[in-house]
Chain A
Amino acid sequence: MLKAKVILVALGAALAVPQALAGATPEEDRKETVEYFKQMFPDVPFEEFVNGQYALNDDRRKQWESMQDFPPYEFAVAEGQEMFETPFANGKTYASCFENGGIGIRQNYPYFDTEKNEVITLELAINRCRESNGEEPLKWKKGAIASISAYMASTSQGKPINIKVPDDPDALAAYQDGKEFYYSRRGQLNFSCASCHVQNPGKWIRADFLSPTLGQPSNFPVHRSKWGELGTLHRRFAGCNNNVRADPLPAQSEEYRNLEYFLTYMSNGLPVVGPATRP
Chain B
Amino acid sequence: MKKPLLAIGISLALSVPLAAQAGPKEDFQEVYSKAQSTHQDAGTFQWTVTGDRLKAAKSAAGNGEYEKAIAMANEALKLAEESVAQRKQQKEVWRQVAIGN
Residues 79-101 of B, flagged 1 when their CB comes within 8 A of A and 0 if not, give: 10011001000110111111111
Say if the beta carbon of A33 comes within 8 Å of chain B. yes
Name the A residues within 8 Å of B48 (CB-CB): 187-188, 242, 245-247
Name the A residues within 8 Å of B51 (CB-CB): 247
For the complex formed, measure the closest distance between the CB of B55 and the CB atoms of chain A, giving whole angstroms: 12
Q: Which of B86, B91, B94, B97 contacts A190 (CB 8 A)?
A: B86
**Residue count of chain A within 8 Å CB distance of chain B:** 38
Binding site for A on B (CB under 8 A): 44-49, 51, 79, 82-83, 86, 90-91, 93-101
Residues 1-24 of A, flagged 1 when their CB comes within 8 A of B and 0 if not, give: 000000001001011110001111
Q: State A194–B98 Cα separation when bound (angstroms).
A: 8
Q: State A32–B101 Cα separation when bound (angstroms).
A: 10
Interface residues of A in 21-45 (CB under 8 A from B): 21-24, 28-33, 36
Say if the beta carbon of A179 comes within 8 Å of chain B. yes
Indicate if the CB atoms of A21 and B97 lie closer than 8 Å.
no
Q: State A15–B95 Cα separation when bound (angstroms).
A: 9
**Number of A-B contacts defined by CB within 8 Å:** 78
Q: Which of A183, A187, A190 contacts B98 (CB 8 A)?
A: A183
For the complex formed, measure the closest distance between the CB of A12 and the CB atoms of chain B, giving whole angstroms: 7
Name the B residues within 8 Å of A232 (CB-CB): none
Closest to A180 in B: B94
For the complex formed, measure the closest distance between the CB of B57 and the CB atoms of chain A, giving whole angstroms: 17
Closest to B47 in A: A188
Say if the beta carbon of A76 comes within 8 Å of chain B. no
Say if the beta carbon of A122 comes within 8 Å of chain B. no
Q: Which of B86, B90, B96, B98 contacts A179 (CB 8 A)?
A: B98
Q: State A9–B90 Cα separation when bound (angstroms).
A: 16
Q: State A15–B94 Cα separation when bound (angstroms).
A: 10
Closest to B79 in A: A188
